[in-house]
Amino acid sequence: MSTINRRTQRVVTDSEDDFVEIRQRQRHDLQLSRRSQTPPIAEKDEDETKTKSKRKPISNTVSIPYIHTAPIHVISKPSVLSKEAPPVEGGYHGFIRLGMLVLGASNIRLIIENYMKYGLLIKLPHSYIPYQDYGLFVLAWVSVPISIVSAFLIEWLMAKIAMHIKSQKEDTRPKITSIEVLAGVFHCMHLLFLMIYPSYIVYTKIYHPMVGSAALVIALILFLKLTSYALVNRELREMYLTDNGDAPGGSHKYPNNIAIPNILYFWWAPTLCYQPSYPRSPRFRTTFFLKRVGELVVCLVTMYLLAEQYAKPTLENSLKALEEHNYVVIVERVLKLSTTAVVIWLLMFYALFHSFLNALSELGGIAIIWVPTGDCGIDRYTFSSRGMSICKCWGKGNCPSVQRGFPPLLGQFVVFFISALLHEVLVGIPTHALTGFAFWGMLGQIPLIAITKPLEKWRAMVKDSQLDQMAADMSLARQRPSFDVKLMSTFLVGDEESFKEREEGRAILENEPLFDKEPLVFMSREERLRHGIKVATRLIELWEEHAWSPDQFAAAVKNVDMMTPVTLHYGAFIPVILNQGTDEQVQEWIGAALSHTIIGCYAQTELGHGSNVGGLMTTATFDRHSDEFVLHSPSLAAAKWWIGGLGVMATHAVVQAQLIIDGKNYGPHIFVAPIRSLENHKPLPNILVGDIGPKAYGGFSSMDNGYLLFKEHRIPRGNMLMKFAKVDKNGVYRPPVHSKLSYGSMVKLRAGMVSEAGWKLGQAATVAIRYCTVRRQFQPANLNKADAPSDAPESQVISYSGLQHRLFPLISVAYGLIITGFSVNRLFDEMTEQLASENATLLPQVHVLTCGLKSWGTRRSCDGIEECRKAMGGHGYSAFSGLSDLFASYIPSNTYEGDNWILTQQVARFLVKELGRLANGKEISASTSYLARLASGDTSSSFRVTKAEQLTDLNVQVDLFATRAARVAFELGQALQSGRAWSDLNVECWNASVAHTEYTVMRAFADKVEEVKKDQFAPIHDTLKMLCDLFAVSNIVGASQASFLATQTVHAADLPVINELYRSLLHRISKQAIPLTDAFGFSDKNLGSALGRHDGRAYEALWEAVQKNPINQEKWQQETYETIIKKLLHRNNSAEPVEKAKL
Ligand SMILES: Cc1cc2nc3c(=O)[nH]c(=O)nc-3n(C[C@H](O)[C@H](O)[C@H](O)COP(=O)(O)OP(=O)(O)OC[C@H]3O[C@@H](n4cnc5c(N)ncnc54)[C@H](O)[C@@H]3O)c2cc1C
C-alpha cells in the first residue's frame, strides 16, 4: 500500500523513472555540446574522476586560450544508428529507411531497364587501374610517415625544451614564445609537404581518379590530424609550464603523451581531434565489429556496382550533349545521374561514418562513436555540434576562427574558403580537372545561407529540444509494452482476417487525399456537405475498383469515419428493406440500391413526433380502386424531420406512416416511397423536400438531414414492406405473427452501435492519452511554486493522478464495449436465424439488451470523449485536437435510434416483467438470471472486502454487479408496487437500466477474459484481465459508486481498500497506456488530430495545421482591414490619436 501511496503522491510513473535516467544522459550530452560554445571543460578521463577547468571564457580578443586542448570524447556512447542507442537520440533511423527505400523501391525498374539496355557492364575494379598507379600511390603515400615522424620530432624536441624550462626556477624560466613560433613554422612546412607532394604526384602521374583520391584523402586526413596534434600540444605545453593542474590526459599528461605509440594510436583512431587519451570501450564486441565490417563490404561493393552499371553509361551518354552544348539533354542526364549519385552518397556516408569508423573504434578499443549527421564537416568541433546546420555551426562560436576573434561572418567565410579549397583539391586533382566547380560549389553556400536564413529563423522558432523531447516521451512510452500490441489489435477487430482487411483497406484509403480530415475544419457547412457527397462517391468508386465485399466496404466506411448523405442508405434503407421486405421486394429494390441507381433514407421522425412512434401523423391510405397507397402529411407537424440523406441526396425513402384501410388505422407501417426523379433528381410532384440546416456544435455537417412533406403522393400497394404485416389487393390486412417482429431492423442498428461506442471512445482516449504523455507541466518539486525556475524536467501531465483517474478507466470502458459488441452480434445472428422461421423467442431479450447497451454505451462514450477533450486543457478546445468534430458528430447518438432516457424505460419494463415472472415461479431469460438471487430475500447484506485481491476475482466482480443490478431492479419493482405512476419512475428506470447494462458488460468482459485463455489470444489474457479489473473497480469506486453503496452491495468502510486497488490498477495501466491505445489501431489520418499524433510531435503538427488557416493569409487580412477594421480604427478620422498611440 505504501508503495502505491508514495507513487501517487509523487506522481512518478515507471516510465518517468526511465525518463529521469535518459534525462540525465541528455544533460550530460548537453554539457558536452555546450562545451563547444563556452570554454571546454574537461569532465572525465580514463584515469581521473574529474578535473575542472579554471579557464576564462573565450572572448572576441586576439589572445588564444586553450581552445584545442579539452577532450571532446569523454564518455562511451553507443552509435545512434545502433540498436543500443537510447530512443531519445533516435531519429537517424529515418536516414536508414530513406536509404533502404531509395535503394530498394525506386531502383528496381531502373535496374531492369538498365539491364535491358546495356547488359552487364560490371568489370573487376583492377581492370581499369594501370599497374604503375599502385607504385605511384605508394610513392605519394611516403609523405605520410615523413610527416608523422616530423610532427613527432618537433613535439618531442619541444617537450624536451619545455621540461628543461620547467626544471628551472620559476622566476628565472625563459620565455618559450619564439621557440613556439619556430615549431609552428616547422609544423607548417611538413604539413604543406604532406599536402603538396602527393597532390603533385596525383595530378601529374596517377591516372585513375580512385587511386588519386585515396592518396589525397589519406594525406588530407593526416593533415587535419597533425594540425590538431600540433595545436593541442602547444596548449598542453603552456598548461604544463604554467602548472595548470587541470591539464587533461591522466597518466598521459603532457609531456608523457609525446611518445611514438601515442601518435601512432592517434593516427589510426577514428577522430581528427587529438587528445592525450581517449575514453576506452570496456571490451571488444566481436559481433558489433563483424556487423560493421559486413556493412562496409556490402556498401562498397554496391557503390562500385552502381557506379559501373548506372553512373558510367549515363556519363558516357552525356559526353556528346556536353560537346554540343545541348542543355536540355544535359539537364536530363544530370537528373538521371542524380538518383544514382544520391544512392552512392548515402552508401558512402553510411559506409564511412557508421560502418568503417565504428569498426575502427571497436578495433582500437576507443569509445568514440561516429555519428553520421551531415553536420559540420571535419574539424574538432564536429562532434559536439550535432543538430546544428553547417552554416550555423561555422558561423557561431564553434568556428575556430570566430574563437580567435574574427567577426562571425568573416569567420564563416574563412572556414568556407578553406573547406572550398580542400574540396577542390580532393575533387579536381585526382580527376586532373581543376575547374573550380567544387571550390565555387562550396563557396556558393555563403549566399545560399543568406537566402535561406529567414527559413532557418522560422525553423528555429518552431523546432527546439522540447519538441524532440515530446517525440522521445512518446517513443519511451511505447518502448516496453507488456503485451503483443498487434495481437491485441487483432483481438479487438475480431480475427486475423478482419485485421488484414482493415489494414489493406486503410492502405488504399490513406492514399486518397480526399479522405484527409485536416482541411475540413476550414470548410463552411455548404462545402462540407459537398465534400461529404464527394467522399461517398469516391468510396463507391473504390468499392467497385477493388471489388470489395460488403464487409470490406463497411470497414472502409468506418475507416473514413465521416457521416455522408449515403450513410443511412447502408445503415438503414438497405437493412430495413432486407429485414421487412418480401423476397420479391428485396429483389426489386436491393439490386438498384447496391448499384446506387437509387439512394435511400429512413424517414420515421416527424416534426411533431419522434420517440412516440404511435403518434406519427403521416398517413398511408389504401385506395382499392387504383391498388395504391396515398401518402399524406396532414399538417406541418407531420413533416418528416431529421431524416439523414434526405436533404439533397436520397431518391427514395422508407417511410413510417399510419396504415389506413377503409378508415381504420392499423398503426405505423413501412412504405418505400420515391422522392426524387431518377432522371433529373428533382423532387417528384406532391413532394416538398429540403435540408433542415446546420446542427448543434457544427456536427453532422457533411450529412443532409432533411424534411419531407407528402401531398397525396401515390405509391403502388407493393411498396408497403410486407414480410410481416400484409395488405392484399382487396384491402384485407394480415397482421404479423409476432407484434414485435418489425423491431428487427432497429435492433440491428442498435446492436452495431455498441461496439461503435467503444471505438469512438477508444479514438478519443488515444488522442488524449498520447497528448497527455507528451505534454509537460510543472517540475514535480515546484507544483506549489508555479513561478519557481528550475532546470529539472517538467512532469508529463499523464503522470498526475487526476488525469490517470479521468482517462484510464475510459480505456477499460472502450474495451468493455467492443468486447460486449462481440456477444451482442453473436446473439443478434442467433435471433436473425430464429426470425427467419418466424420464431421470435430471442427478440425481446435482444431488443432490451441493445436498448440498454445503446443507451449506456453512447452516453459513457460521449461523456468520455468530452472528458478526453477537457483532459487536454486549452489545446483540447482547438478544432485540431480532432475531438471537437468527433464529439459534435457523435453526441446525437444519445438521441437517434431511440432517445437514451426512453430506451431505459424499455429495459426497465422488461426487468419488471421478469420480476413478475420470477414471483410467479416462471422461468426468466438468461440475461436476467441474476434476479433469481432476490428470491432468498437478501436485499441488503454487503460483500466485505478485507483484501484488495478479493476484487480481482472475476467471479466476485460479476457477482457484485449482479447483486447491485438485482437490488436496483427490486427497488424499481417496489416503487411500482407502492403505486407510483410509471411516468414518475423515469429515474428509477434509468438506474435499473444502467445497473443491468453494467452487469451485462461486466459479464461479457469477464467471460471473454476466461475465453481467451483457451484460444490464440491467450498471450494477451493478463492485459485483458487487468483492464477487466479496472472496469470493475473503476465503476465501483467511480462512476457508479453511489449505486453500489446505496444498494449496500459494497460497504462504505471497505472503500479505502478498494481505492487502494484502484490506484494500483491505474499505476499498472500507466505503464501500458500508450500501447493499450495503440492497439485500437487508429492511424494519424483516422484520428485527424494534431495533438494525438503517433510520433508525439503535437506542437509541430498544431503549428503546421494553423499555418493553413485562411485567416492568416494576407488577402483575408487586408480585405478585412480595408472593409471593417479600418473603419473602426479611423472612425474619428483624426491623425492625432494615431500619432499619440505611436508614442
Ligand atoms: C443527428 C440526428 C439524426 C437523425 N436521423 C434520423 C433519421 O435518419 N431518421 C429518422 O427517422 N429520425 C432521425 N432522427 C430523429 C431521432 O430518431 C429522434 O430525434 C429521436 O428518436 C428522439 O425523438 P424526439 O426528437 O421526438 O424526442 P422527444 O421524444 O421529443 O424527446 C424530448 C425529450 O423528452 C423526453 N421524453 C419523451 N418522451 C418521454 C417519456 N415517455 N418519458 C420520459 N421522457 C420522455 C426525452 O427523453 C427527451 O429528453 C435523427 C436525430 C438526430 C439528432
- With a 6 Å cutoff on the Cβ, whether 896 touches ligand 1 is yes
Query: Are 1043 and 903 found together in one domain?
Result: yes
* Residue length of the chain: 1143
Cβ of 705 less than 6 Å from ligand 1: yes
Cα torsion angle, 896, 901, 907, 909, sign: negative
Query: Whose Cα sits closest to atom 26 in ligand 1?
Result: 610
Q: Say how far apart CA 978 and CA 849 lie, in whole Å.
A: 27
What separation in Å is there between the alpha carbon of 573 and the centre of ligand 1?
A: 19
Predicted pLDDT at 469 = 87
1079, 1041, 1078: which is closest to 1058 by C-alpha?
1041
Phi, psi for 726 (deg, rounded to 5) = -135, 150
Based on the fold, state whether residues 700 and 758 are members of the same structural domain.
Answer: no
Between the CA of 646 and the centroid of ligand 1 the distance, in Å, is: 17
As a whole number of angstroms, the distance between CA 20 and CA 580 comes to 63
986 lines ligand 1 (CB under 6 A): yes
- Cα gap 993→1048, rounded to integer Å: 18
Strand blocks (E) in 595-686: 600-603, 619-623, 628-632, 640-643, 652-661, 664-674
In contact, 247 and 239? CB cutoff 8 Å = yes
Q: Specify whether the backbone of 873 is left (phi greater than 0), alpha (psi in -120 to 50) or beta.
A: left
CATH number of the domain where residue 592 is located: 2.40.110.10
Chain centre distance of CA 994: 35
The pLDDT assigned to 127 comes to 60
- E-strand spans in 749-836? 776-777, 795-796
> Is 792 domain-assigned?
no
Nearest one of 701, 1082, 1056, 637 to 879, comparing CA atoms: 701
1082 and 1124 within one domain: no
Same domain, 916 and 1037: yes
Query: What is the atom index within ligand 1 of the atom nearest the CA of 645?
Result: 8
Best CA proximity match to 488, nearest among 1020, 1021, 1025: 1020
Query: How far is the C-alpha of 295 from the C-alpha of 358, rounded, in Å?
Result: 11
Do 160 and 167 meet the contact criterion of CB atoms below 8 Å apart?
no
901 lines ligand 1 (CB under 6 A): yes
Strand-pairing partners, residue 652, are: 600, 674
How does DSSP classify residue 1048? T
Number of domains in the chain: 7
CB-based contact 1064:7 (threshold 8 Å): no
Q: Single out the residue of 777, 773, 779 nearest to residue 792, CA to CA.
A: 779
* CATH classification of the domain holding 526: 1.10.540.10
Among 562, 581, 604, give the residue marking a domain's end: 562
Q: Which of 648, 902, 987 to mutate to test the pocket of ligand 1 (most atoms within 8 A of CB)?
A: 902
Among 704, 899, 903, 993, name the best residue to mutate to test ligand 1's pocket (greatest count of ligand atoms within 8 A of Cβ). 899
Of 155, 139, 148, the C-alpha closest to 254 is 155
How far CA 143 is from CA of 204, 208, 550, in Å, comes to 16, 20, 77
The reply to whether 591 and 645 lie within a common domain is yes
Look at residue 1008 and tell me if it is in a domain: yes
Q: Of the candidates 703, 706, 1065, which has an alpha carbon nearest to the alpha carbon of residue 893?
A: 703
609: cell is 413526433
For residues 717 and 613, state if they share a domain: yes
Strands 619-623 and 652-661: parallel
In ligand 1, the atom with minimum distance to the C-alpha of 656 is 11
532 lines ligand 1 (CB under 6 A): no
1115 falls within a domain: yes
Q: Within 13 Å of residue 85, how many CA atoms lie on the same side as its CB?
A: 17
Residue 609: how many CB atoms within 10 A of its CB?
18
Ligand 1 close to Cβ of residue 892 (< 6 A): yes
Q: Which residues fall within 8 angstroms of residue 481, CB to CB, at 6 or more apart?
A: 1072, 1075
Say if 476 falls within a structural domain. Answer: no
Which pLDDT does position 166 carry in this prediction?
82
State whether the beta carbon of 700 lies less than 6 angstroms from ligand 1: yes
1083: left (phi over 0), alpha (psi -120 to 50) or beta: beta
Q: How far is the CA of 691 from the centre of ligand 1 (A)?
A: 18
Q: Is 895 in the pocket of ligand 1 (CB under 6 A)?
A: yes
897 included as an active-site residue: yes
- 897, 914, 988, 998: the catalytic one is 897
Distance set, CA 214 to CA 209, 500, 622, 763 (Å): 8, 52, 98, 57
Residues paired with residue 658 on neighbouring β-strands, in sequence order: 619, 668
Q: Are residues 996 and 860 in the same domain?
A: yes
304 CB near ligand 1 (under 6 Å): no
Q: Are residues 535 and 601 in the same domain?
A: no
568 lines ligand 1 (CB under 6 A): yes
What is the domain range of residue 45? Answer: 1-84+93-115
* Amino acid at position 898, single letter: G
> In whole angstroms, what is the distance from residue 502 CA to residue 600 CA?
26
Which of 237, 268, 299 is the last residue in one of the domains?
268
Tell me, yes or no, whether 570 lies in a domain: yes
pLDDT confidence of residue 791: 61
Whole-angstrom distance, CA of residue 773 vs CA of residue 469: 11
Shared domain for 205 and 307, answered yes or no, is no
Which mutation among 895, 901, 983 tests ligand 1's pocket best, with the greatest number of atoms within 8 A of CB? Answer: 895
Beta strand 733-734 with 795-796: parallel, antiparallel or unpaired?
unpaired
- Separation of 602 CA from ligand 1 center, angstroms? 14
CA 1039 / ligand 1 centre spacing (Å): 26
Output the pLDDT for position 617.
98
Atom of ligand 1 nearest to the CA of 900: 47
Between CA 929 and CA 999 the distance in angstroms is 11
* Residues 6 or more apart in contact with residue 1027 via CB below 8 angstroms: 811, 812, 815, 816, 1005, 1069, 1076
Distance between CA atoms of residues 453 and 447, nearest Å: 10
C-alpha cell at 347: 552508401
Out of 519, 534, 562, a domain closes at 562
What is the 8-class DSSP label of residue 257? T
Identify whether 695 is part of a domain. yes
Whole-structure pTM over 0.95, yes or no? no
CA nearest ligand 1 atom 25, residue = 610
Q: Is residue 264 part of a domain?
A: yes
Whether the Cβ atoms of residue 83 and residue 287 lie closer than 8 Å to each other? no
- Closest atom of ligand 1 to 603 CA is 11
Q: Tally the C-alpha atoms within 13 A of residue 264's C-alpha that lie toward its C-beta.
A: 4
Mean pLDDT by 10 residues, the chain (1143 residues): 34 39 42 36 37 38 55 60 53 69 70 73 68 88 92 93 84 78 92 92 88 90 92 88 70 85 87 82 79 91 82 79 81 80 84 84 66 37 35 50 67 82 87 85 82 66 72 90 96 94 91 92 96 96 92 89 94 92 95 95 97 96 98 98 98 98 96 98 97 96 97 98 94 85 77 96 98 91 54 87 97 98 93 82 90 98 98 97 96 96 97 95 94 90 92 97 97 96 97 98 98 96 98 96 96 96 97 97 96 96 93 92 90 69 60
Question: Is 264 in the same domain as 292?
Answer: no
In degrees rounded to 5, what are phi and psi of residue 648? -135, -15
Same-domain pairing of 977 and 1121: no
Domain presence at residue 120: no
> What is the spatial distance between Cα 71 and Cα 239, in angstroms, rounded to a whole number?
14
Residue 386: what pLDDT? Answer: 33
Query: Measured from the CB, is residue 903 less than 6 Å from ligand 1?
Result: no
* Residue 604 CB–ligand 1 contact under 6 Å: yes
Query: Residue 828 maps to which CATH number?
Result: 1.20.140.10
Provide the Cα torsion 759, 761, 766, 769; round to 10°.
Answer: -160
CA 833, 838, 844, 845 torsion-angle sign:
negative
Q: Which atom of ligand 1 is nearest to the CA of 601?
A: 8
Q: Which atom of ligand 1 is nearest to the CA of 695?
A: 1
DSSP class of residue 1075?
A: H
> 631: which DSSP letter?
E
Query: Ligand 1 centre from 659 Cα, in Å?
Result: 22
Three-state secondary structure of 714-726:
EEEHHHECCCCCE
SS3 206: coil
Selection from 550, 572, 557, 566 nearest residue 746 by Cα: 572
CA of 986, closest atom in ligand 1: 43
899 lines ligand 1 (CB under 6 A): yes
Note whether 346 and 241 are same-domain residues.
no
- By the 8 A CB rule, do 750 and 850 touch? yes
pLDDT for 25 equals 43
Question: What residues have CB less than 8 Å from 527, skipping those under 6 apart?
Answer: none
- Distance CA(460)–CA(136), nearest Å, equals 50
- Read off the amino acid at residue 660: I
Q: Which helix (H) or strand (E) holds 710?
A: strand 706-710
Could you tell which of 566, 601, 605 is best to mutate to test the pocket of ligand 1, judged by most ligand atoms within 8 Å of the CB? 605
